[in-house]
Every structure is written in structure tokens, then in C-alpha cells.
Amino acid sequence: MSAFVAIVRRDLTLALRRKNEVITSVFFFVVVAALFPLGIGPEMNTLRLVAPGILWIGALLASMLSLGRMFAADFADGTLEQMALSPNSLTMLVAAKILAHWLLSGLPLVLLAPVLGLQFDLSANALWILTLSLLLGTPILSLIGAIGAALTLGVRGGDVLLSLLVLPLYVPALVFGAGAVQAELSGLGASAHLSILAAMALVAAVFSPWASAAALRIALES
């Protein structure tokens, strides 16, 4: 666990020294959420209808901006190879990097979502469900994205290939995340959607670090 905490602390420290990488994702999310109401118009019923999808798509795209950098710097300077040769489990170290990625690119979006949801005239309950769905769903984005980032590490045109790999896998999280808010707005209740999101997050948390570590070993051997 000391190695796990050390990797998380290291990635957070490095990110704070390069604040523009964190700010870029947050700024992108804010801009997407702010521009859509201007393009759609002031009709509140329409805004409430499209708000869950807009905010979730914004969060999805914002989290993708930093996926390519999750392992790239460590791969370039040899740190990743040292991690693979260390006595600590590479799977555990990869899990620490995924957690650090979520803390930097997912958690800020979760905290900003209720504020941005106010401009769509969402109720307090809908804002709560939106926040909860993002809290359960954004880790899925980081976990799945880590597999794609590991598979495309060192590949020419890796950013484009990464998008092609992970976007189809993001669709279930997007559907159930936005669907939870829509179900709450329609009075059906969001518990079923949130339960599915939680199950998806649990499955991804179990398999993603292992799959990412296996892909990283292949990238280091090639």
C-alpha cells in the first residue's frame, strides 16, 4: 500500500506542477456545458430534457483529453519500465495511476456538475442524481480509458486509435448515467440505473488494472 500511495501522490504532485493539463479538461467541460444552452435557446422544458445528455457527453469528452498522457510520460523517461521491474505488483501500481487520473480529471467534473446543471433548470433531486451518476460513472471512464491508453502506448497515431477503442466502450456508462437523471425527471426513479452503473464500476475496477498492466508489459517488450 505504501507504493500505491506513493504513486498516487507522485502523479498528483506532477500534475499540480503542470496545471494546464488539469485546467484544460475542466475548462473544456465548462465550455461545452455553457455553450449548449446558448445554441438551443431559453426554453426551459427543452433544456431540462437535454441537460443529462449534454453534461454527460461533456464529462466523457473532457476525461478523454488526458487519457493519452496517463502512461506516456512514464513510458518516455523509463519510469514505467522501473515499475514493471520493481518487486511491487504492476497491477497495483497501474491501479494507483488510474486513481490519480480520476482524481485529476473525473472528480473536478463531479464537483462542477451541480453548478453547471443549474443553468438547465434542473431540480435539486435531479442535480443530486446527476452528481451521483457522475461519481459512479467517471471512474468507469478512467478505468476503461486506462486499457485503451495502455494498448495504444507508443503507437503512431495513438490518440486517434485510443478514441476509436474507448468511445464504443463508454456508451453503456453514458446511457445509464444520463438515463438515471432522465428517469428521476420523469418520476420513474433512478435506482435501477445507478445500480447498473455501480456494478459496471465494480467490474471495471476488478479487471481494468490487470488488463492495463498486461498491455503495458506488451508495450515494454515491443
75-119 pLDDT, tens digit per residue, is 878 788 888 888 888 889 899 999 999 998 889 899 988 888 888
Domain carrying residue 207: 2-221
Q: Say yes or no to pLDDT of 200 above 90.
A: yes
Cα radius of gyration (the chain): 18
What local confidence, expressed as pLDDT, does residue 157 receive? 67
C-alpha cell at 36: 449548449
pLDDT > 90 fraction of the chain, expressed in percent and rounded:
24
Number of C-beta neighbours around residue 135 at 10 A: 19
Q: What is the DSSP letter of 43?
A: -
Average the pLDDT over 177-205 and give the result: 89
Structural domains counted in the chain:
1
What local confidence, expressed as pLDDT, does residue 132 receive? 93
Average the pLDDT over 131-139 and give the result: 93
- In whole angstroms, what is the distance from residue 91 CA to residue 68 CA? 19
pLDDT digits 0-9 by tens, 43-60: 778 888 888 888 898 888
Burial of 66 per CB tally in 10 Å (0-12, 13-18, 19+)? buried
Average the pLDDT over 141-154 and give the result: 88
Single pTM value for the model: 0.88
Residues contacting residue 76 through CB under 8 Å, at least 6 positions apart = none
What one-letter code names the amino acid at 161? Answer: L
